[in-house]
């Protein structure tokens, strides 16, 4: 993900905190390799009133000439006085000192960024990662950075399970790369190591239903109820069933000769492999059968969330029975 950091001056730009932390850790590691010892970390904010004095002190030599990592945060607040000191340190780096300037992005303080770039500072982008495909691409790159391979389905399942929390997602990738000792990381691995995350298992139930695999759907649903807790199963399953159903309806409405690129844009489906999966599944369904499944799913969603009327709540066993009946009845090929 991060380019190799050259020393002694690094410019980190962006607001994605976990990426900023990773970049700072890489700078620290590079400094340790260069100096043969962990650098003393000295952090100050350019927004502080005494920022120039603190930076002058941080850049100064120490009694034992120990290496130092000097980090200037909130660089969008750099003024001319502080810049003069940064520029001087850039032109003539103090021995053993690595200087890092952290800017949150945006136009404020742009002239100083331009000056640092022109002078040849090593730049690391830590821009916020957009939701959806950009995040999944980022996660796949994280796996490759660790020397491993992963299937697109595994990345998608992990993202669906954890949501748009970059720090947690990076941690999950690290766990998978550590726990899956060899081979390609696939959907089975995600389900195995994140079995307690309801959305991962709901994703598996949904796939089995729309693939017309009633035995697998029932098995996965019962495993989910046992491992994730019976009380929370309903909403997770109906949400993922709804996602799968919407994809089928969208692809069934596509013109036969539409290109893959146009189909992705028209349906809003993120990846070509997801589109192919949806198209293959859609071949197993008549339009009227999907319509009936949609109506029944809406009723099921109401039931597992407690019903529409006061006193209409169902207990956990009744909700689980409703779920099991739906997945078996819907996935069955008997009335295709």
Q: Name the residue ranges covered by the structural domains of the chain.
A: 9-125, 133-193, 210-331
Pick the range with the lowest mean pLDDT from 66-70, 197-201, 303-307: 197-201
Digit-coded pLDDT (tens) for 268-292? 876 677 788 888 888 889 888 889 9
- pLDDT at 139 > cutoff 90: yes
Class for the domain spanning 9-125: alpha beta
Q: pLDDT band at 101, cuts 50/70/90?
A: very high
CATH topology (fold) of 210-331:
Zinc Finger, Delta Prime; domain 3 (1.20.272)
Phi, psi (rounded to 5 degrees) for 43: -115, 135
Q: Is this structure's pTM higher than 0.75?
A: no
Tokens for 218, please give them: 């029932």
CATH number belonging to domain 133-193: 1.10.8.60
pLDDT of residue 307: 53
CA distance 319 to 308: 14
Confidence (pLDDT) at 267? 84
Q: Which of 276, 268, 198, 210 is nearest to 244 (CA)?
A: 210
Q: What is the pLDDT of residues 20-43, one digit of tens each?
A: 888 888 888 888 888 778 888 899
Residue 296: the pLDDT is 92
Q: Which DSSP letter does residue 139 get?
A: H
Do 133-193 and 9-125 fall under one CATH topology? Answer: no
Taken in order 44, 46, 47, 53, the sign of the CA dihedral is: positive
The pLDDT of residue 199 is 60
Supply the DSSP string of 218-233, one letter for each residue.
Answer: HHHHHHHHHHH-GGGH
């Amino acid at each position: 993900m991060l380019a190799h950091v050259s020393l002694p001056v690094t410019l980190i730009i962006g607001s994605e905190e976990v990426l900023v932390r990773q970049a700072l850790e890489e700078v620290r590691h590079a400094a340790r390799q260069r100096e043969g010892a962990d650098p003393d970390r000295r952090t100050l904010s350019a927004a502080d009133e005494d920022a120039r004095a603190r930076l002058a002190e941080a850049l100064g030599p120490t009694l034992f000439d120990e290496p130092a990592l000097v980090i200037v945060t909130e660089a969008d607040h750099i003024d001319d006085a502080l810049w003069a000191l940064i520029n001087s340190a850039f032109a003539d780096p103090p021995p053993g000192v690595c200087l890092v300037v952290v800017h949150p992005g945006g136009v404020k303080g742009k002239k100083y960024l331009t000056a640092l770039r022109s002078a040849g500072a090593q730049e690391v982008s830590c821009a916020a990662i957009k939701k959806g495909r950009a995040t999944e691409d980022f996660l796949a790159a994280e796996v490759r950075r660790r020397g491993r391979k992963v299937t697109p389905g595994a990345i998608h399942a992990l993202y669906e399970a954890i949501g748009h929390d970059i720090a947690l997602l990076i941690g999950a990738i690290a766990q998978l790369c550590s726990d899956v000792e060899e081979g390609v990381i696939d959907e089975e691995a995600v389900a195995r190591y994140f079995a307690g995350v309801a959305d991962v298992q709901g994703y598996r139930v949904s796939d089995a239903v729309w693939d017309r695999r009633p035995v697998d759907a029932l098995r996965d649903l019962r495993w989910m109820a046992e491992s994730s807790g019976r009380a929370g199963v309903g909403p997770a399953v109906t949400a993922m069933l709804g996602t799968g159903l919407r994809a089928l309806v969208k692809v069934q409405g596509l013109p036969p000769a539409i290109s893959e690129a146009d189909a992705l844009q028209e349906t809003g489906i993120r990846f070509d492999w997801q589109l192919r999966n949806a198209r293959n599944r859609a071949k197993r369904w008549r339009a009227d059968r999907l319509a009936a499944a949609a109506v029944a799913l809406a009723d099921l969603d109401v039931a597992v969330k407690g019903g529409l009327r006061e006193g209409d709540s169902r207990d956990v066993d009744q909700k689980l029975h409703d779920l099991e009946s739906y997945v078996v009845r819907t996935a069955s090929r008997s009335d295709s």
